[in-house]
Every structure is written in C-alpha cells, then in structure tokens.
Amino acid sequence: MLHGSLFVEKVLSSNSLWVVVVTDDEEKCGKQCEEYAEIMSKASASSGGLLKVGFLRAAGSVRVSPNPEDEEMVVMTLYNISQVPTMLLWTPGGRRDEASPLIIPGQMADAMMREGAKRFFNSLAQFMPSLVTAPLRTPGFPSFFPEEDPGRFSPVVLLHNNPKPSPLLKMLSLEFSGLANFALVPGGDEAALAAWGVSNSSLPQLFVGPRGFRLPASAAPPASEKKPSGKKGAAAKASAGGGPYIPPPQSFKGWKAFPSSPQYPMNFASLKKWLTSILPAPTLPQLATQADLERALKASGLLFLAILPSSPEARSPSLSMLARVLGSSEFVIPDYESIQLNQQSSFVASRPYMTWAWIDGGAQNEFVSAFSGAATPGLLAYNSRKGVYSIMKGSLTEANVKEFVMALVIPLTPQQVARGQLSGVTRPEIPREKIDKLPQLANHPRDL
C-alpha cells in the first residue's frame, strides 16, 4: 500500500511503467482487493521487472512533492476520482512530477484485471511510449542514418523475428533517449539481416554502432535517384529504383553485439547494464567555424547554443553539466493525443528535434552581441525556420537549463489536450525575439 511520502519515493521518482489501483478501504474492498493484488503481482513478475504495481486508498492521503514540508492531499480529490476501483497509469519518459497519469475508470479497470495477468500486462504495455524506429527495412536505411546527423546519438539496432517493438525495446529506447537512436529490424528482411552478417535462425541479436555512424559514400543511392531534400523523400527515392536498398557487406563492420548467453540473458537488467557500459557519454560539439554553424542548423529544428568562457578551466564545469542534461530522459515528451481509452492505439512518444552545441563567447563576441540579452556564460535557443530566438534568464545551472528547455520544446511536439479524464501539461510562455539575419560565425581555431 502506497501512502504519504512513499508515493513520491516509489512512483513519482521512478521512470518505470507504474500502475496504481485506487480502491475503497480494506473493510469494503475485501476479497476483490485480494484478487486484484494477485493478478497484479503475477503481471509484474511476468513482465521481467518492466511493470511496477501498487495500491492507494481513495480516502487516504499522499504527498506529490519531495519536500517533506509540503502537505499531503486526499487521493480522491487529487485525481478527481468519483468511483472505485480506478486505475492510474504512469508511463516511462517525461517529467512525472508535472504530468498527469492516464486515468482508467472503474468498469474498464475491473474488466482489464479480470482478463488474467498476461492479458492485463499486454493491455498496459501498449500504452508504453516508444522511440523505436520500427520496422527498419533496407529501403529506410538512409533515413535512419542521415547525412546531416550531428553525431550526438549512437545507433542501437535489434534484429528480431517479431515485427513489432516489444515493451523491453521501448523501455530501453526511453532509458537511453539522450544517448542513442533505436531501431527494430524484422527477421523477414533478409537483406537487412545480411548487412549485419546474421541469418534469421540466429535471432534475436542486438548491435550498437559508433556515435554519428553514417553509411559509406558507396552505399548511397545514385544521385539521380535522390530527392533535393527531406529524409522520407530520400528513403522513398532510394527504394524506388531497381529493387530494395541494400548496403554493402562491410557497412556495419566494427559494430558491437550484445554477448547473449545464459550468464547474460537478453532481459532489461542485462541490456541496461551493457548499454550503460558501452554507450559513450554525451558531448557538446564546438561551433568554431561558419561551416560548423550551418551543419548544426541543417540538422536541427531548435538549436540550443551554450555561450561559454574562453578559458578551458572556466567552461569545463558547464560542459559537464550540459552533458548531464543531454543524457536525461526528461525530454522525451509523450504525445497525449495518441492515447485512446479503447486501447486500439499505442502511446507514442516524440523526441523534439534539437541540436546542442557551444561557442567560445570571447572569440565569437560579435556573433553573441547580435542576440539582444545574450551574455557569457549563457544559453540561447534559435529556431532557424522561424528566425526567432530566446535567451535563458538567470545563471547557467542544471535546474535553469532544464526549465528553459522544457518550456521551449513543448511547441515542437504534438499539442497536449484533454482527452477523457486526461489533462494536458501547460508551461509558461518564454519570450521570443525576431532576428532578421543570423550573423556569420567567425572562423576560429578549434579547441582540442
């Protein structure tokens, strides 16, 4: 039973898939609660640790803030519950302290649990957000490995006979959303399997490529078949010529494979531990030339540009702090519009199309001065499509950076609106200023 501060510690401080059933008090609930507990316990066990479960009393109180001085709130009032049992569902990704749970009303909650533990978990798993590219077939390779990739992410590819992403792969994609791009290659695409030198009989296998991996020039489709711009257009043209798009046999040489074995089973704990050890830490590239700036703008919907001191010693703490922000899963923004209580669609996630970089504020003084209010150290966000920018107010701290970013990325994702009993998230408006022409970045020797 969750109560008081335990609710914050277990649920709101977690990134797991959590389902909490709100029930009557013990005397009224009786045998029904015992049945629910048994079904939920079995579902959690069969999920391999992906699903966490708990109970709340409707008339009980919980605290939703980690601050012990904040008062507790009655559960029924907090979530506007009018009948019990009611199911509260928190999915991985995003800032749980500000997001509302998916509220599944009593009749549906009861029906889901009476279908048995396995079907109960399967019903919940389809609401788990996903950042997985699925299925990644050979014609789509150019769009998954785009030429303009700034090199922030490492590609992670699961080759599997199931053509749909499993909850395990979805969870990994959210857990490492700041470090990697995930794709599922279906076993039915023999050409795609051949690119990694494996056959259908050896699946499943998981591979990790180097950060910023690009297909070699010889793997690109003929120039006459390319579209002028657009990832989807390029992929479509690549496959429209003479058959499927097939990379050369050596394209993926050097990729690392998960050492699946009885000692290293392909479960969430083992894969998380292995990916943590193998994925490189996030970094911010320096923009030292105009060419650097143009590449960053081409690869971005929103460019976050840190303005840092010239001294390596002075900027080192800021670079380390910004790397932690980049590696955070908090910027996986759920698309609440995709949730439907008839369980016919998945709960998808949307990662804002952002690029991060830094410039030497001392060497690029003229560039910085073109943005009203910008200073060293500082952070600005520039939207090249709209020609607008915003300057972060306050000191360059992790808390300020996260608040600034979250307030800006919401407009880049599908609008969150009320659907059924679900409420959207609102954030304060950040002032944006127009800049008619982006100044040139002075060519400057790159810091090593």
CA dihedral 18, 19, 20, 26 (to 10 degrees): -130
- For residue 126, how many other CB atoms are within 10 A of its CB? 15
**62 found inside a domain:** yes
**326 found inside a domain:** yes
Q: Kindly state whether residues 260 and 138 are assigned to the same domain.
A: yes
The CATH number of whichever domain residue 266 belongs to comes to 3.40.30.10
Report helix, strand or coil for 39. helix
**284 found inside a domain:** no
Residue 58's φ and ψ, nearest 5 degrees, are -60, -35
Q: Kindly state whether residues 202 and 269 are assigned to the same domain.
A: yes
**443 found inside a domain:** no
Q: How far apart are CA 399 and CA 431, in angstroms?
A: 19
At 128 the pLDDT is 83
At 274 the pLDDT is 96
Q: What pairing do the DSSP bridges indicate for beta strands 17-23 and 86-90?
A: antiparallel
Residue 431 and residue 390 in contact, taking contact as beta carbons nearer than 8 Å: yes
CA atoms within 13 A on the CB side of 297: 18
Residue 54 and residue 1 in contact, taking contact as beta carbons nearer than 8 Å: yes
**Which residue among 66, 90, 125 closes a domain?**
125
Q: How far apart are CA 405 and CA 415, in angstroms?
A: 16
- DSSP state letter for 59: T
At 417 the pLDDT is 33
**59 found inside a domain:** yes
Residue 356 and residue 409 in contact, taking contact as beta carbons nearer than 8 Å: no
Q: How far apart are CA 330 and CA 326, in angstroms?
A: 9
Strands (E), 385-436: 388-391, 433-434
**446 found inside a domain:** no
- Say if residue 85 is preceded by a cis peptide, omega within 30 of 0: yes
Q: Kindly state whether residues 300 and 415 are assigned to the same domain.
A: yes
Tokens encoding 337:
């519009």
Residue 69's φ and ψ, nearest 5 degrees, are -85, -15
**440 found inside a domain:** no
Burial of 344 (0-12, 13-18, 19+ CB in 10 A): exposed
Q: How far apart are CA 78 and CA 58, in angstroms?
A: 10
Bridge partners (DSSP) of residue 378 are 307
Report helix, strand or coil for 355. strand
Q: Kindly state whether residues 101 and 205 are assigned to the same domain.
A: no
Q: Which residue bears the tokens 């109180």?
A: 61
Q: How far apart are CA 168 and CA 275, in angstroms?
A: 13
**420 found inside a domain:** yes
**Residue-by-residue pLDDT tens, the chain, 448 positions:** 776 678 888 888 888 889 999 988 776 777 888 888 899 999 998 888 899 999 999 888 888 888 888 888 888 888 888 888 888 888 887 767 666 788 888 788 888 888 888 888 988 888 788 889 989 988 888 788 876 655 678 999 999 999 989 999 999 998 898 899 999 999 988 888 988 888 899 999 999 999 888 887 655 544 444 444 444 444 444 434 445 556 776 788 889 999 988 888 999 999 999 999 999 988 888 999 998 898 888 877 789 999 999 999 999 999 999 999 988 877 777 665 444 444 445 667 777 778 899 999 999 999 999 998 899 999 999 988 888 999 998 899 999 998 898 888 766 554 433 333 333 344 556 778 888 788 888 887 766 5
Q: Which residue bears the tokens 């019990």?
A: 84
How far apart, in Å, are the Cα atoms of 148 and each of 91, 232, 446?
31, 14, 20
Calculate ∠ Cα 339-348-119, nearest 5°.
70
Q: Kindly state whether residues 121 and 136 are assigned to the same domain.
A: no
At 158 the pLDDT is 96
| Domain of 426, in residue numbers | 290-434
**Count of structural domains, the chain:** 3
Q: Kindly state whether residues 303 and 401 are assigned to the same domain.
A: yes
Q: How far apart are CA 371 and CA 94, in angstroms?
A: 30
At 443 the pLDDT is 81
Report the side by side order of strands in the sheet with 302-308: 354-360, 302-308, 378-383, 388-391, 433-434
List, in sequence order, the alpha helices (H) in 80-116: 106-113
Q: How far apart are CA 416 and CA 114, in angstroms?
A: 31
What's the whole-model pTM score? 0.81
- DSSP state letter for 138: G
**Which residue among 108, 125, 142 closes a domain?**
125
Q: How far apart are CA 73 and CA 76, in angstroms?
A: 9
Burial of 74 (0-12, 13-18, 19+ CB in 10 A): middle
At 424 the pLDDT is 39
Q: Kindly state whether residues 116 and 166 are assigned to the same domain.
A: no
**Which residue among 278, 313, 342 closes a domain?**
278
